[in-house]
């Protein structure tokens, strides 16, 4: 009730925001957290705390202070205002990236904290380009743009306690700036401006992933969240030729030595430092046949862990390419296990490569969205808030 009054007050104060005016705050470099970056002006104007930037300058963090070389002593915050086509940030572990809009830079423990405020629709074009980079079909790009827009607005409070809306990693949605936005991603965002996926007149939780492997998974088998009627397992096209079977890496195979598996299980605290993994099995599976619970046998006992935890644990330990999904069979040998699987990603909601496959068959983006989110309806965000 309190929330409703607050919302009404906001609407009264400012009027309903149109999609064009919505802004989103994104934490940049959320994974690498660099201590210093070089700012290089591009084909646009850059103001550093209201002073124009003419040449590349180093931005660095020291303790809780941040400085831009040549722009006075270090302080608590630096504000960059980048207009036109943007300015480049480079250094750290990532390649140079083009950013625009307002960048508010502070420092935490000698690491830069960079929050970029950009119009929602420009962010959606950037996310669509990054998330659907390998696809080719316009209708697949449009489906991705609508899913990304809906996800952003649904989870706009994901990181609000830390002062921003979304981080730039796949924890929220991959956003690598404005340097390489594919024209079809921009066109997809423009032509679907303001459009979102709704369920019972509310924003839907539009999770998406790369390749489902033939069948998406009911969300509750993957995460312990409240059941959503539109996040249920769906068959992704004909059994023999799923829509996403066109994807490179649809099938995968990984061999892990027992020694490596033991090391990983110990580091994740699934087993004690004195135990060794001797066998690995799948105990139960979800609707799509994704592994839900795994069992490790050691000298002393059997240990059960969730397949999602295993998937994330391996991702952290060996990189995301080692085990690409939980849709796998395990073949346990004496010294190693072989995992043979299909698909890439968590398997919930829209399958990006399936969207590409559907688009190649002539389906339109709204058909694609209702295929992956059954029972949902596409609407304009402004028709929802009124």
What is the chain's length?
386
Find residue 266's DSSP bridge partners. none
Q: Contacting Zn ion (CB under 5 A), which of 37, 66, 146, 167?
A: 167
Would you put residue 29 in left (φ > 0), alpha (ψ -120 to 50) or beta? left
Rule CB under 5 A: is residue 171 a binding residue for Zn ion?
Answer: yes
Give 20 or 364: the residue with its C-beta nearer to Zn ion.
364
Q: Contacting Zn ion (CB under 5 A), which of 181, 351, 355, 378?
A: 351
Give 27 or 261: the residue with its C-beta nearer to Zn ion.
27
Rule CB under 5 A: is residue 105 a binding residue for Zn ion?
Answer: no
Give 196 or 351: the residue with its C-beta nearer to Zn ion.
351
Rule CB under 5 A: is residue 354 a binding residue for Zn ion?
Answer: yes
Give 46 or 211: the residue with its C-beta nearer to Zn ion.
211
Rule CB under 5 A: is residue 139 a binding residue for Zn ion?
Answer: no
Rule CB under 5 A: is residue 69 a binding residue for Zn ion?
Answer: no
Q: Which two tokens stand for residue 349?
A: 């909601």
Rule CB under 5 A: is residue 356 a binding residue for Zn ion?
Answer: no
Closest distance to Zn ion from the beta carbon of 273 (Å) = 32
Which own/partner contact pairs does 62-67 have at CB distance under 8 Å and 24+ positions apart?
Answer: 62/107, 62/110, 63/107, 63/109, 63/110, 64/106, 64/107, 64/108, 64/109, 65/107, 66/105, 66/106, 66/107, 66/112
**What are the strands of the beta sheet with 336-342, ordered from one edge?**
251-257, 336-342, 328-332
Rule CB under 5 A: is residue 236 a binding residue for Zn ion?
Answer: yes
Rule CB under 5 A: is residue 359 a binding residue for Zn ion?
Answer: no
Rule CB under 5 A: is residue 27 a binding residue for Zn ion?
Answer: no
- Indicate the DSSP class of residue 18: P
Coil vs helix vs strand at 284: strand
Closest distance to Zn ion from the beta carbon of 176 (Å) = 14
User: Among positive and negative, which fits the CA dihedral 375, 377, 382, 383?
Assistant: negative
Residues at the contact surface with Zn ion, assessed by CB under 5 A: 167, 171-172, 212, 236, 244, 351, 354
């Amino acid at each position: 009730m309190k929330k409703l009054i607050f919302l009404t007050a906001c609407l009264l104060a400012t009027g309903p925001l149109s999609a064009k005016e919505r802004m989103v705050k994104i934490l940049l470099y959320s994974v690498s957290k660099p201590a210093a970056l070089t700012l290089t002006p591009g084909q646009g104007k850059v103001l550093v705390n209201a002073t124009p930037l003419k040449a590349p300058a180093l931005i660095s963090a020291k303790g809780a202070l941040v400085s831009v070389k040549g722009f006075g002593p270090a302080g608590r915050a630096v504000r960059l205002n980048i207009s036109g086509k943007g300015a480049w940030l480079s250094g750290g572990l990532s390649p140079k990236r083009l950013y625009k809009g307002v960048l508010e830079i502070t420092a935490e423990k000698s690491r830069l904290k960079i929050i970029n405020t950009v119009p929602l629709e420009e962010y959606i074009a950037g996310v669509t380009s990054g998330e659907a980079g390998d696809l080719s079909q316009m209708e697949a790009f449009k489906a991705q743009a609508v899913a990304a827009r809906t996800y952003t607005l649904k989870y706009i409070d994901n990181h609000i306690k830390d002062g921003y809306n979304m981080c730039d990693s796949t924890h929220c949605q991959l956003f690598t700036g404005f340097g390489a936005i594919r024209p079809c991603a921009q066109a997809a965002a423009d032509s679907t401006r303001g459009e979102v996926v709704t369920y019972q007149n509310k924003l839907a939780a539009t999770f998406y992933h790369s390749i489902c492997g033939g069948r998406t998974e009911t969300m509750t088998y993957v995460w312990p969240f409240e059941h959503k009627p539109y996040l249920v397992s769906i068959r992704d096209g004909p059994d023999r030729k799923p829509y996403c079977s066109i994807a490179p890496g649809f099938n995968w195979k990984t061999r892990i030595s027992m020694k490596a598996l033991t090391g990983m299980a110990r580091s994740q605290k699934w087993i004690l430092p004195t135990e060794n993994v001797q066998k690995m099995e799948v105990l139960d599976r979800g609707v799509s046949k994704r592994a839900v619970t795994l069992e490790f046998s050691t000298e002393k006992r059997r240990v059960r862990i969730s397949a999602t935890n295993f998937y994330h644990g391996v991702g952290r330990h060996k990189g995301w390419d080692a085990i690409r999904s939980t849709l796998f069979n395990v073949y346990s040998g004496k010294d190693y296990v072989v995992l043979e699987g299909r698909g890439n990603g968590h398997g919930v909601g829209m399958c990006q490569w399936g969207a590409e496959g559907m688009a190649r068959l002539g389906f339109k983006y709204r058909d694609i969205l209702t295929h992956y989110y059954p029972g949902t309806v596409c609407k304009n965000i402004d028709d929802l808030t009124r």
